Amino acid sequence: MNRKILAAGSIAAVAALALAGCSSDGGDAPSEPSGPVTLTLSGWSIDTTPEFQALADAFHEKNPDVTITLKEYDAAEYNTLVTADLAAGSGPDIITQKEVKYLTTFQEGGQLLDVSDVKVPEGIGGADSYKVDDTAYAVPYRQDSWVLYYNKALFDAAGVDYPDGSWTWDDYADAATKLTSGDVKGAYLHRWQSVVQGFANAQSDVSALDGDYSHMKDYYDLALKLQDEGAQVDFNTSSANQLTYQGEFGTQKAAMMPMGTWYTATLIAQQASGEADDFEWGIAPAPQRDSSTTGTDSTPVTFGDPTGFGINAALSGDKAAAAKQFLEFAASEEAATVLAGIGITPALTNDAVTEVYFGVEGAPTDDLSKFAWSTHEVLAENPTSSKTAAIQGILGDMHTAIMSGSTDVDDALQEAQDRVANEVGLD
């Protein structure tokens, strides 16, 4: 499940982009449809999530006989609603895999076509997350990862040096304390369990399926320390006021924020519209567990899950062929440049794609931002298993108990381990 994306030297010119990614070895490519085909593609929040239409349009331009129409679902109930439609025989032809932890729900229900014959470029991220017993049931098209966003203006005002890629979590905590002044917090830690547990698992090389969560203690101790010292908004205040991470960082209430790379497009758009303040910002690698993975000569470790496309198992003939053709395109370098051009992090990255991504107006232009986005080892937050959703539910309860102060860290960790063993069971 490990993935490395390494920037290879200087950034290549955009004009040097190949129109298609280099495919890996494998079986024969899917056959092409013999005539006009119309396919439906599931998505969510389509007005504010442009990637679906962008990929559909780019594919149709290359393949005018195939038309892809979008089928929108409520983002909060996406998996439930898609599952219901599939069971009723009215599901989409191409099924966007919003969360990896639900892949096995579709696969075990016999709702996904085997797409092992769809070729994907070498080095693409997240492909293994869609395999069950070595059979692929989806293809990744985007792969977000977690980085550190920071406000250069607030760093300058506090006289604190910018992150340089060498930070451990202790360095981050020290900077957060120095940056806290008046109404400005040094950092904002959003309420999601990912913000603590994702880093703890990835940087300790531990899976949520392992059933032992003692490695999370140091990460929770640090989060609670910053909370108690006032260097970040406490969990209960954030929950009671339903604070948004976009609002906390975008209106300069926090100088730093660990967050996924999807936030880049949002921040650029909000600064352009005036919803966010106008300030200079940058991206740094996520702080590391220790110095062994810090520095721009090393490869920082972070986490993130891919987003991919699967195919309705009810499809056959020309429709199945056209759907597989779309999946192959969505994973290609050409599609990656389409996504990068709208601030989306594609599953395939290279120097030229990086140049496109940071060429978007409003994006940072410094070398460390490019390094942080393009060079890292990404470990999956959600291992592909039918047990993952239940385990993450238990770990979510644990996160709330710890961060709200209702349960001691050690007691909460032990309780979660006991619940996973008793309620889920592990091999």
Q: Which of 285, 253, 4 is nearest to 169 (CA)?
A: 285
What pTM, to 2 d.p., does this model score? 0.85
Does the structure show a pLDDT above 90 at 258? yes
β 146-151/281-284 pair status: antiparallel
Q: What is the pLDDT of residues 295-322, one digit of tens each?
A: 999 999 999 999 999 999 999 999 999 9
CB of 98 closer than 8 Å to CB of 80: no
Count of residues making up the chain: 427
Give the model's confidence band at 425: pLDDT under 50 very low, under 70 low, under 90 confident, else very high: confident
Q: Which CATH number fits domain 3-143+306-378: 3.50.50.60, 3.40.190.10, 3.40.605.10, 2.60.40.10?
A: 3.40.190.10
Burial of 248 (0-12, 13-18, 19+ CB in 10 A): buried
- Cα–Cα distances in Å, from 414 out to 162, 215, 417? 38, 12, 5
- Which residue type occupies 234? D
pLDDT at 32: 74
- Angle CA(234)–CA(171)–CA(343) in degrees, nearest 5? 75
Question: Please, where in the chain does CATH 3.40.190.10 lie?
Answer: 3-143+306-378, 146-300+387-424
pLDDT at 39: 98
Burial of 216 (0-12, 13-18, 19+ CB in 10 A): buried
Q: What is the pLDDT of residues 92-129, one digit of tens each?
A: 999 999 999 999 999 999 999 999 999 999 989 999 99
Contacts of 311 (CB under 8 A, 6+ apart): 93, 94, 95, 112, 113, 115, 320, 323, 324, 327
Give the model's confidence band at 16: pLDDT under 50 very low, under 70 low, under 90 confident, else very high: very low
CB of 188 closer than 8 Å to CB of 254: yes
3-state secondary structure of 74: coil
pLDDT at 25: 36
Burial of 12 (0-12, 13-18, 19+ CB in 10 A): middle
CB of 310 closer than 8 Å to CB of 95: yes
Q: Residue 4: enclosing H or E segment and its boundaries?
A: strand 3-5
Does the structure show a pLDDT above 80 at 71? yes
**In the CATH hierarchy, which top-level class contains the domain 146-300+387-424?**
alpha beta
Percentage above 70 pLDDT, the chain:
92
Q: What is the pLDDT of residues 175-229, one digit of tens each?
A: 999 999 999 999 999 999 999 999 999 999 999 999 999 999 999 999 999 999 9
pLDDT at 29: 54
